Every structure is written in structure tokens, then in C-alpha cells.
Amino acid sequence: LLRTAARVGVLTPCYAEHPYAWQRAGHQLLALDEAHVEAALDGLDVLVLVNPNNPTGQRVARERLLAWHARLAARGGWLLVDEAFMDNTPADSVVDCAERPGLIVLRSFGKFFGLAGVRLGFVAAEHSLLLRLAELLGPWTVNGPTRVLAQASLSDETAQRAQAQRCAAASQRLAHVLRSAGLAPSGGCDLFQYVRSEHAARLHEFLARRGILVRLFEQPAAVRLGLPACAADEQRLAQALAAYQKEAA
């Protein structure tokens, strides 16, 4: 609704909702990895990516993103960057450049604050595009209680710094638990860890039977683990992984 039919590149792996939404709107999709973006960019109208990537945690350098944006914007194209997991590494963000024509940045509230049920997100872009988007979405996009919660959380910078430290420490502990079980992370960030394994499906089922839910990926075979909520959950995961390691031996 915001663009006529376009050729859209999607950096993979990626949230399934991104390619689904663009394809449903009638656009032509091209799946890309980072190594092939340079060669494909001049043939694209839009490039979509998640940074840090979900599920791998891989980050594209800010300078490279802005260079891609400049090439797209020079002919009316868009760079759309989903920064749902960016809160812990703000220096890598391009949100401060979002007023540039053709740069669209998406941010998520629930990931960093641990409030996924709130279902709140933000769009940063040039003013004219935001006006068009607001017209399409209508006046009731965010309810009152959510606004109050978001305002309180976003205005408390001391709490945000403490949360960032907690997440970073918890992610490091999770990585240690995984390595101790012979499952060295293949990627990740301060909000999750990512493990590639040919036995990912078996690990997923083993943990699920013990009430521990992780995200399973098929191509490539991998699992993504969110941060344990507390020390007891961390210990329960460690015990389950030790049992898995013993069974697999």
C-alpha cells in the first residue's frame, strides 16, 4: 500500500513475517545472504534485513547499511532495517539517520524489556512516510495501558542500563551452559543464543518433553534459546542439557 509493485530483497535467515507481508502485497521477492547484496542491490527497489539478525545474531556494520541505503535512495529505493534486538548495542543502530528519505527502521518494545505480550513496536522514518503510514493504520494502534507502560519504561534510563547489564550477563551464562553441554553457540546476541546442530530437531523435542521450549529451525538445522528468566530456570536448563548429552553419548 505504500509502494507500487517492487523487487524486494530479503536478507536471510529472517522473520517469516517480513517476506510473507511483502509477497502478500504483490511484490517480487529475492532471498539473499549478506555476501550477495552488493551484486544484487542495483536490481532492487527495497532491501529488508533484521539487524542483529534473528536467529543468528549476526550484525551488519552501520557503515555498510548506510552505504546500501545511499545506493537505494539515489533512485527512490528503500532500506528497511528491523532492529528488534538492537537495544543492547545502540552504537550499531541507524535509527538516528531515519529521517533520511528511504531509510525505515523498526524497533520492538517487548524483546529488551521482556514484555512480549505488550505487542508494541515503533517505526522511525522520514516524516512524510510516517504520515502516510499513520493514515493507513488509523487512530487506535496502541491502547492506553500500553502507552502508560511504554512511557514509564522508556523514560527510566537507569533501569534501562541495569536491564542491559542483566541481559548481557544472562546471555554469557547461557552460552557457558551450552558450551558445557557440548553445544557451543554458533551465534547470538545479548538477548538469545543460537546453536547449529544436525541433531537440532532431537534436542528441540528432548527439551520440550521437559517443559523447556526453544525455537527450532530446519535450514540450517539449529535452535535458538532465549534467556532463562531466573537462576532456577538456568539450572533446570543445565540439568536438562546434561541429561541430553548423557543420552546422546
- Confidence check: pLDDT of 189 > 70: yes
SS (H, E, C) the chain: CCCCCCEEEEECCCCCHHHHHHHHCCCEEEEECHHHHHHHHHHCCEEEEECCCCCCCCCCCHHHHHHHHHHHHCCCCEEEEECCCCCCCHHHCCHHHCCCCCEEEEEECHHHHCCHHHCCEEEECCHHHHHHHHHHHCCCCCCHHHHHHHHHHHHCHHHHHHHHHHHHHHHHHHHHHHHHCCCCCCEEECCEEEEECCCHHHHHHHHHCCCCCCEEECCCCEEEEECCCCHHHHHHHHHHHHHHHHHHC
Instruction: Check whether residue 109 and residue 163 sit in a common domain.
Output: no
- 28 and 146 belong to one structural domain: yes
Same domain, 101 and 20: yes
Q: At 186, which CATH number?
A: 3.90.1150.10
The reported pTM is 0.93
Are 42 and 35 contacting, i.e. CB atoms less than 8 angstroms apart? no
Q: Which residues of 83-100 are buried (b: 16+ CB within 10 A; e: fewer)?
A: bbbbbbbeeebbbebbeb
Asked if residue 1 is part of any domain, the answer here is no
For residues 132-139, average pLDDT:
92
241 plus 211 within the same structural domain: yes
Of 109, 131, 154, the domain-final residue: 154
Of the chain, the end-to-end C-alpha distance in Å amounts to 54
In tens, the pLDDT along 78-121 reads 999 999 999 999 999 999 999 999 999 999 999 999 888 888 99
pLDDT bin (cut points 50, 70, 90) of residue 229 is very high
Q: What is the rounded average pLDDT for all residues in the chain? A: 95
Domain assignment present for 2: no
Same domain as 71, residue 42: yes
- pLDDT tens digits for range 33-65: 999 999 999 999 999 999 999 999 999 999 999
Q: Of 127, 154, 181, which one is at a domain's C-terminal end?
A: 154
Over residues 123-144, the mean pLDDT reads 93
131 lies in the same domain as 163: no
Give the pLDDT band of residue 1 (cuts 50, 70, 90).
low
Using CA atoms, how far apart are residues 108 and 124, in angstroms rounded to an integer? 11
For residues 103 and 208, membership in a common domain is answered with no
Q: Is residue 163 part of a domain?
A: yes
As beta bridge partners, residue 80 has: 48, 104
Structurally, the chain folds into a number of domains equal to 2
Domain limits at 115? 7-154
pLDDT beyond 90 at 158: yes
Alpha-carbon distance 11 to 166, whole Å? 30
Q: Of 122, 154, 186, which closes a domain?
A: 154
Q: What is the pLDDT of residue 146?
A: 93
What pLDDT digit, counting tens, does each position of 11-31 carry? 998 888 999 999 999 999 999
Confidence check: pLDDT of 77 > 90: yes
Q: How far are the Cα atoms of 47, 85, 197, 209 from residue 108, in angstroms, in the given order? A: 19, 8, 29, 30
